[in-house]
Amino acid sequence: MIESVIVLLCAIVAALVVFVLKLLGDNRALNAQLTPVTFDRDKLKEANEILEKKFERVQKEYDDKFSIKAIRDRYKFDEKRGVMVTPEQHYFCTSCLLEGVESQLTTLANGWRCERKACEKFYKNPDYRDPTAAREEYIATRDRGGI
Ligand SMILES: [Zn+2]
């Protein structure tokens, strides 16, 4: 009788050992899966730090380029036309520059146009005279006997 109890206890102990060994194996397998995740997290943290430094550098370059002082150093405001002018006489959109966008203006016969889709501002040339109006003015002056 006692021998069968001992055999039964040995069988239970053996089953427990097998169960514990299986748990240890499962634990190792799970740890193996966790290691790459930890590795990825470290790589992502490193990549994030690099991007943050790059962003700070770009932000500083942007601030240096588009601060009010930088704009005043680089451009002169043409009060007659309302545009910003470089020393090379290139015209830039005042509205866009104040938003931090450098948009060179297209020169037309009657003024200058900003080609930026979000702006499309037109700066009228105060020296421009419409040929039709000039002709009508000429005729009117002539008819009054001025010419
Ligand atoms: Zn503009």
Q: What is the mean pLDDT of residues 18-34?
A: 89
> What value does the mean pLDDT take over residues 104-118?
96
In a domain, 70, yes or no: no
What is the average per-residue pLDDT within 113-141? 89
Asked which of 25, 46, 65 is the last residue of a domain, the reply is 65
Report yes or no on 29 lying in a domain: yes
At 67 the pLDDT is 84
Using CA atoms, how far apart are residues 140 and 101, in angstroms rounded to an integer?
46
Q: Report CA(91)–ligand 1 centroid distance (Å).
A: 11
Distance 34 CA to ligand 1 centre (A): 53
Alpha helices in 91-130 (DSSP H): 94-98
d(CA 44, CA 46): 5
Please report the pLDDT score of residue 146 as a whole number.
67
Put simply, whether the predicted model's pTM sits higher than 0.85 gets the answer no
Last residue of a domain, one of 65, 92, 111: 65
Place of tokens 């680089």: 74
Name the domain count of the chain: 2
Enclosing domain of residue 91: 75-147
Tell me the per-residue pLDDT of 73-109, one tens digit each, with 9 for 90 and over. 899 999 999 999 999 999 999 999 989 899 999 999 9
Rounded distance from Cα 121 to ligand 1 centre (Å): 6
